[in-house]
Amino acid sequence: MKKRSHAEDALREEHAFRAAMEDSLTVGMRARDLLGRVIYVNPAFCRMTGFSAAELVDQAPPMPYWAPEQLEETYAMHQTVLAGDAPPDGFEITFMRKNGERFQALVYEAKLIDGSGKHTGWMASVLDITERKRAEEQARQQQEQLQFTSRLVTMGEMASTLAHELNQPLAAIASYNTGCQNLLSTGKATPQEILPALEKIGVQAQRAGKIIRRVHDFVRKSEPKRAPCLFVEVVEDCLGFVEAEARKRHVRIECAIPPLPAIPADRLMLEQVLLNLIRNGMEAMSGNEQATRVLNIATDIIGSELHVSVSDCGSGIAPEIRDKLFTAFFTTKPEGMGIGLSICRSIIEFHRGRLWVEDNPLSPTGSGTIFIFTLPLEAE
């Protein structure tokens, strides 16, 4: 009798220990048999879904916590798990609480093995990651807003140069228009005399329109989207932006881009990176003799990556500053915001690339900087 009493006490203690352990878990646990029927849920899973254990145990698909709008996808994943092909790193899925509220869950599935080593079902651990996903989305939106603000700041800094660049075709249009009016006022003008001036007006109008479209495209708000992109077109757009500023600063831009395959990238984001690096390079050479104000843009394919370098012949970057360059709100410019390079790095990392800085060993001034970034040639 004593042995039986001790065994019963030990069993009660084991059950109490197991119940306490289950109650303390914040991770939802759900067990299903080989047919997919629920055979066990812990209190955390019940709190997560809003259903009681009595409402869930013995339930067969479709489960009451499956979101109706994703029933097909959820059932497909259910079948994948039963077939033993569940992703080993877990999978994300949308579940529904009893009150109808949706939540994002991260699910890990493992085999249930009984004492004889027989596979009897599946045990899932379920994490509610709704708040994490919400925070990630909020951070993504804030990053997009920061990138947009940075583009507006860049255009603001270039406003006087762009206004001057736009004024040239507009002034030419006005001049040709005056010439046409003068010819027409004589009453003797022929179409052959007026047509060349009208053609030149059309050319200058297209030139002005191109400048306006370029600015509009650069500052527009859009969702980041990777699509096949020709990097040479990114370079051409950026050079179109900085051509007038380069003349004003007496900077010679050397650029010989060989034929390159299209890469999966967001073109606007790459323009933002390249434009920032080009303008930084031009500013870095403000104190140089005009003959040494040379900025070079080069590309190379190394392995499965495109390497892009922007090098200047400026005064270089001190070692103690270099480590802080990509830190948000760090700047060496009195009027700078300190977000340009930080955003550049985040954009390149978004594309699964890297951005770093080196000394320019080929600079004729003996100093200078090279910014290098990489981009994968193929999508994931």
Q: What number is the average pLDDT over the span 141-150?
A: 78
User: Which of 83-92, 104-113, 176-185, 244-253 comes out lowest in average pLDDT?
Assistant: 176-185
219: left (phi over 0), alpha (psi -120 to 50) or beta: alpha
At 184 the pLDDT is 85
User: What pLDDT is stored for residue 189 in this prediction?
Assistant: 79
Question: For residues 106 and 326, which has the higher predicted lDDT (pLDDT)?
Answer: 106
Coil/strand/helix, residue 251 = coil
Question: Could you report the per-residue pLDDT of 278-324, keeping only the tens digit for each?
Answer: 999 999 999 899 889 999 999 999 999 999 999 999 988 888 787 78
pLDDT tens, 160-200?
A: 767 767 777 888 888 888 888 888 888 887 888 888 888 88
pLDDT exceeding 90 applies to what percent of the chain? 45
Which residue spans within the chain are E strands per DSSP?
28-33, 38-41, 91-96, 102-113, 119-128, 227-229, 252-255, 263-265, 294-302, 305-311, 355-359, 369-376
If 0-12 CB within 10 Å is exposed, 13-18 middle and 19+ buried, where does residue 347 land? buried
**What pLDDT is recorded for position 301?**
94
Question: Burial of 151 by CB count in 10 Å (0-12 exposed, 13-18 middle, 19+ buried)?
Answer: buried
The residue type of 135 is A
Thinking of the domain 224-380, which architecture would CATH place it in? 2-Layer Sandwich (3.30)
Task: Determine the Cα–Cα distance for residues 110 and 143; give it in Å rounded to an integer.
Answer: 37
Q: To the nearest whole number, what is the mean pLDDT of the chain? A: 85
Q: Tens digit of pLDDT for each residue in 201-227?
A: 888 888 888 778 777 777 777 777 889
Distance between CA 108 and CA 60 in Å, rounded? 19
Q: Which range has highest mean pLDDT (92-106, 229-243, 244-258)?
A: 92-106
According to the model, what pLDDT value does residue 120 have? 92
SS3 213: helix
> What are the start and end residues of each CATH 3.30.565.10 domain in the chain?
224-380
Chain region(s) in the chain for CATH 3.30.450.20: 2-128
Q: Domain 2-128: state its class.
A: alpha beta
Share of the chain above pLDDT 70, in %: 89
CA–CA separation, 36 and 51 (whole Å): 18
Name the DSSP class of 63.
Answer: P
Rounded mean pLDDT of 90-112?
95
Q: Could you read off the pLDDT of 346-375 as tens digits, one per residue? A: 889 989 999 999 999 888 888 899 999 999
Q: Check: CATH 1.10.3210 for 151-221? A: no
